[in-house]
A and B are shown apart, each in its own frame.
Chain A
Amino acid sequence: MKVTLNWIGEFLGAERLEPENIASVLTMSGTEVKKVEYISDKYKNIIIGRLVDFSPHPDSDKLSLCEVDIGSSKLNIVCGAKNFKKEDRVAVALPGAKVKDITIRKNKIRGQISEGMMCSEMELGLSSESEGIMILSSNCEIGDSFSKSVGLDDVVLELEITPNRPDCLSVMGIAREISALIGADFVVPEYDLQKRLNIDSKFKIEIEDYDLCPRYSAKLFRNIPNIKSPQWLKNRLILCDVRPINLIVDLTNYVMLETGQPLHAFDKDMLYSNKIIVRRAGKGENIITIDDSIRILDDDALVIADEDKAVAIAGIMGGKDTEISENTKNVLLESANFYGPSIMRTSKKIGLRSEASNRFEKKIDPMLTVFAIRRFEDLLGKVANFKTEECIYDNFKKVERERKINLRVGKVGQVLGKDIDAGLISDILTNLKISNRIKDNIIEATVPSFRYEDLQREIDLIEEVARIYGYDRLDSIPIPASDRRGKYSLYQKTIKDIRQALCDMGLVEVINYSFISAESLKKFKINLEDRYKNNVKILNPINEDFKLLRPTLLPALMKNIKDNINHNIKDIGIFEISKVFKKNSSGKLPFEINTLGMMLTGKAVQKGWNEKERSFDFYDLKGILDFICKRYYPSGSLKIKEKQYRFFHPRVSGTVNIEDLEVGIIGKIHPVIIEETEIVQDAYYMELDMDKFINNIKETKKYKFIPAFPSIDIDLAIVVDNKIKSEDIVNEIKESGTELLKKIRLFDIYRGEQIEKDKKSMAYSLNFRDDTRTLKDTEIEIIVNRILENLGKKFNARIRE
């Protein structure tokens, strides 16, 4: 919200308001000043001139050569407008002035010297369009600064008003706040707010539901003068980002900005009858609003209607039919109070927010309505010399708007950590217009109507005391020592360790949005997998890309490698630890599974002066998996069970299992998907359910004796059919190897000329040991022979010569 300092000053009994000081006290009391804008700076080097004479430009029909008196000298200015005459007062931008971000310079226009520029209202930022230059009042002093002459010698404060302070959504509210902060008087015009109801009037206001409209005040203005808004009024509106329209509308806006009470003016003659009804809309009822849109309402929207139809959406926007026009003679001025949550709901539903709805949403003070009408009346009288004896119609439900709160002085100290003197607390409250008296260390406070919604409890008053006293004056005290044990849980620590381990192994951690498009699930054929069905849908997504909560990290990681490949980074190992989502039964929160996704693509080893280049393959990924599993399941065996997923290569696709627990999937991205994604290099993906993985870690480490007797290593190379799996061979070796066999390690696979086609040689290193004695070669020989014999029986394996 914007307010100007001069405007605020009208309500303060202070000599002079120092802009920076006001900004600082407001900010430090909770009304943050985002920006301080010195308007006179914008009009630097723009001064008042008198048009002495003018003649046509010799080389142009459109231009004129003007002689302008600026007091200290006379300037020659080439001008394109025609709307001036001799002796007119004009705004002259001298060289160095900035007009619409362009710096004015002395130059030649079609051969004629021009020593400045005569400005239009548009160029001066005072209207969105203008014909010709701005002609000023003849009262303006020649040579004076333009901003001073037209009342723009002002400072605009841009404020952030928190939602709990609807009373501050106005110039008067801010002035009242400043008065409490700097100790100046708050000066309000005194109007008669009581003598208002004309009993035997023909005009009626009917309120169907006082909960939605606690008060509706209105007044008729007959035969209003058809004049334009004065410049000062327009200037203030412009400085507060409100576009001037016509006198009546400008005044409603002015009073709203000033008092915080939204006003709406109807063209009385366009109303069907002498009756205003505040009612709920009929289902599907529609209205064309003043912005020329058709608004379709439902039955929880509140409308202002005559006996024929709705003429305004209550508190949000008026209807086109009853809008004030140039021909309006009689005006019905509405000053009402509507129920905030209802206005908020309707405004959200129809997607329309206005200055008025923004104020109503925050629950403004119903005591303001008549004051605002009086203020309007007062200003209309001043601006247009207009007087009316009409009454104010006022329909309302009587409500309690005064609240008594007891504030314990001791509680203030308890909450703030610093004892504050009762007298000081009392003074602070008094300055905030909260009347109070001190009684036995309790302050009995009475909250005024304009703070009724905001100040309800003792704690609310403590906050008032704290913010006016100043947070910077409060102490800084360590938390009292109590039962503290700062630490990570085992789960959190494990996640952190795994993240660190993966980084140490050369992987980079990515973080992607939790959203995914249905399209992208389709593209990777994820939608066809049972595992990833039952997705969580977002009712109001930003767009199609954000429609679902992702059931897997795969598409995001694919996108990451593609994006990076496009940046010519082709050798990539990335991982992400994030939640994936799955629908739960209706009404329940979805399942959230903390998931580790990992993808490798490109080269594992770059070609180097001492290294051979090598691409990532499945075993790089499996190696990382092995590493993590060994760390947390030192004696649990990791198994990859073949299982086909449509997004994986049909032969390199499986589930990850620790013993019998399935914890994830692993595989090579299907070459067709790779092609379709235009990645042109193999990619490997693995996904682990971190919750399952971590929550099943049971192993507690226990010391095992370091072997006291030497072990014997035997290398064994066998030739088997190509399709025999290493895992099966290993299992058989284990089986036949007795408990003396402690380790098996595959160290070579050979296919080629030295053995038959369709066969491979597998070379294993076997390690035998007994913890109680030194083994004899002969006994190992017997075991090895038995292993060979069994391998022969089972896999038709023979020893490689």
Chain B
Amino acid sequence: MQRSEIEKQEASILFRDKPYKIMSKKEKNISGLEKKIKIELDNFTRELETVKNLIELDNLRTKYIGKKSFLIKTLKNIGNLPDDIKPIAGKKSNTVRKKIESDILIKEKIFKNIEYENKLRKEIIDMSLPGRSTAAGRKNIISQVVEEIEEIFIGMGFEIAEGPEVETDYYNFEALNTPSGHPARSLHDTFFISENILLRTHTSPVQIRYMESHKPPLLIIVPGKVYRRDYDVSHTPMFTQIEGLVVDKCINFSNLKWTLETFVHEIFGKDRKVRFRPHYFPFTEPSAEVDVSCNICGGKGCRVCSGSGWLEILGAGMVDPNLYSFVGYNPEEVSGFAFGMGIERICMLKYGINDLRLFFENDLRFISQF
């Protein structure tokens, strides 16, 4: 309720009796007292307006509702009044006392708020000082990009499969159409544990393992570490790959194009062009290499893309029907595609990193940048 409304209400209670009514003696006595009370209230209201601080307000309180004030004295002496006036007089003076009390409280709150505010304003706090430090953790850039890629493919309905890093010759080569003596083997310089056990040279063996234990339809991607016996400026003996495999009833090369185009646009941006070039992999047929347009030169050709305007990022192709015979699928009933990419290369292209070795040096000044 607004203050003015409270006042109005109070006043209407006080002067409920109609003024034009002819008054009896008793009524006269009451109205005399009433007048006095009203004058008291009027004086209070007027003085309250002029009060400037809590001390003055306290004085005002003493004056109007203190022990020696007219109102309190009246209330104290009510017992001495004639019985017929008592209730009315008591009621009237009490109402006014309450009104004064509440007015003072309201005023007091205002003064206190002002005082508090003034006190706060005197405090000096430099908000430009550094915040209390929280240690800055960081996911490795490789994990970040792997997770980003995983999420893109999960969005397209893929699951994540994994497999051992130490593999048999069978899964790493033979079941992938690369029997002993196959020329493509010379492209994979391999670490051996024994004659038939080796460090996987790619994540592709998981294709075979997964197909052996699952029936189509299947959509998987396979992230993981792979190993090749190469160690120079542009090769590390361990690196990270993500493999993809889709097998279902009528999967075709156009589905492969759509999937990888969608992926490239997600990870590098919609403005990048994608190019599919014929290539050769022993376990896909037809095979393709996938290029993305160079963002440094915009496709005109520069040092980064060795003048071609394109950056190679993926190997892909339709799963060679031979693979199905290794896992007990009927190549006339199912078809599919597979693809693979090097994560470090994606990171390098995405963030403009020019030295592969940085990925495994674990210099915190490097890791913390991403």
Interface residues in chain A, defined as those with a beta carbon under 8 Å from any beta carbon in chain B: 27-30, 32, 34-35, 162-165, 340-342, 344-345, 348, 361-363, 414-418, 457, 459-460, 462-463, 466-467, 471-472, 474-480, 482-489, 492, 496, 499-500, 502-515, 536-542, 546, 549, 560, 563-564, 567, 569, 572-574, 578-579, 581, 586-587, 589-590, 592, 604-606, 608-611
Contacts and interface: CB of A to CB of B under 8 A. Distances in A.
B193 A538 contact: yes
Interface stretch (B39-47, B85-93, B100-108, B274-282): B274-282
B116 interface: no
A75 B288 CA distance: 56
Given A163-B187, A511-B140, A536-B166, A569 B364 contact: yes
Interface residues of B, number: 92
Contact of A487 (B135, B159, B196, B275): B159
A511 B146 CA distance: 13
B123 interface: no
B349 to A, nearest CB: 18
A608 B130 CA distance: 9
26 contacts: A340-B181, A417-B254, A462-B285, A471-B276, A475-B257, A477-B252, A479-B248, A479-B259, A480-B250, A482-B248, A487-B159, A488-B160, A489-B159, A496-B147, A503-B139, A505-B137, A506-B135, A508-B368, A511-B362, A513-B237, A539-B191, A560-B362, A564-B364, A567-B365, A590-B197, A608-B130
Nearest to B289: A32
A499 B143 contact: yes
Contacts of B136: 506
Nearest to B331: A459
Contact of A537 (B162, B193, B367): B193
Given A478-B258, A515-B238, A538-B193, A500 B139 contact: yes
Given A27-B277, A162-B279, A539-B191, 4 more contacts: A340-B183, A341-B180, A466-B278, A512-B362
B236 to A, nearest CB: 8
Interface of B: 129-130, 132-140, 142-143, 147, 150, 153-160, 162, 164-168, 180-187, 191-194, 196-197, 199, 217, 219, 225, 227, 229, 231, 236-238, 246, 248-255, 257-259, 261, 275-280, 285-289, 306-307, 318, 320-321, 335, 359-365, 367-368
Contact of A362 (B147, B183, B249, B277): B183
Contacts of B287: 463
A487 B165 CA distance: 23
Nearest to A506: B135
Given A499-B139, A505-B137, A549-B166, A479 B285 contact: no
Contacts of A477: 252, 254-255, 257-258
Among B143, B168, B217, find the residue whose CB has the most chain A CB atoms closer than 10 A: B143
B183 A484 contact: no
Contacts of B164: 589, 592
Contact of A479 (B156, B162, B275): B156
B132 A542 contact: no
A540 B194 CA distance: 10
B231 A507 contact: no
A613 B196 CA distance: 55
Nearest to B129: A609
| 3 interchain residue pairs of minimum CB distance | A506-B135, A341-B181, A417-B254
Contacts of A418: 254
User: Which residue, of B237, B279, B307, B362, has the highest number of chain A Cβ atoms within 10 A?
Assistant: B362
Contacts of B286: 415-416, 459, 462-463, 466-467
A512 B360 contact: yes
A29 to B, nearest CB: 6
B194 A539 contact: yes
Contact of A546 (B186, B237, B280): B237
Contacts of B140: 508-511
A478 B255 contact: yes
Nearest to A538: B191
Contacts of B165: 514, 579, 592
B281 to A, nearest CB: 9
A489 B166 contact: no
Nearest to A539: B192
A549 B9 CA distance: 91
Contacts of B154: 486-488
Contacts of A542: 229, 231, 237
B137 A508 contact: yes
Nearest to A30: B278
A489 B255 CA distance: 25
B181 A344 contact: yes
A537 B199 CA distance: 11
A474 to B, nearest CB: 6
Contact of A540 (B150, B192, B249, B362): B192
A460 B253 contact: no
Nearest to B219: A484
Nearest to A491: B162
A520 to B, nearest CB: 15
A510 to B, nearest CB: 4
A500 to B, nearest CB: 7
B278 A479 contact: no
Nearest to A505: B137
A29 B286 CA distance: 12
A30 B138 CA distance: 41
A479 B238 contact: no
A573 B134 CA distance: 13
A361 B183 contact: yes
Contact of B143 (A340, A507, A509, A606): A509
Contacts of A587: 194, 196
B219 A509 contact: no
A490 to B, nearest CB: 12
Contacts of A480: 248, 250-251, 255
Contact of A475 (B133, B196, B254): B254
Given A499-B143, A572-B364, A163 B183 contact: yes
A111 to B, nearest CB: 43
A260 to B, nearest CB: 14
B362 A510 contact: yes
A506 B137 contact: yes
B301 to A, nearest CB: 11
B183 A363 contact: yes
Chain A CB within 10 A, most for which of B155, B186, B194, B368: B186
B137, B160, B258, B275 — most chain A CB neighbours (10 Å) = B137
Contacts of B255: 417, 477-480
B309 to A, nearest CB: 11
B336 to A, nearest CB: 10
Contacts of A362: 183
Contacts of A502: 137
B159 A563 contact: no
A508 B364 contact: yes
Contacts of A35: 306-307
Given A467-B278, A508-B364, A460 B285 contact: yes
Nearest to A342: B181
Contacts of B276: 471-472, 474
A479 B251 contact: yes
A459 B155 contact: no
A244 to B, nearest CB: 28
A506 B136 CA distance: 5
A508 B139 CA distance: 6
B278 to A, nearest CB: 3
A538 B199 contact: yes
A480 B225 CA distance: 31
Given A471-B277, A515-B238, A589-B166, A486 B137 contact: no
Given A460-B285, A606-B133, A474 B253 contact: yes
A514 B238 contact: yes
A90 B168 CA distance: 63
Give the interface centre of A342, A489, A511 by most chain B CB atoms within 10 Å.
A511
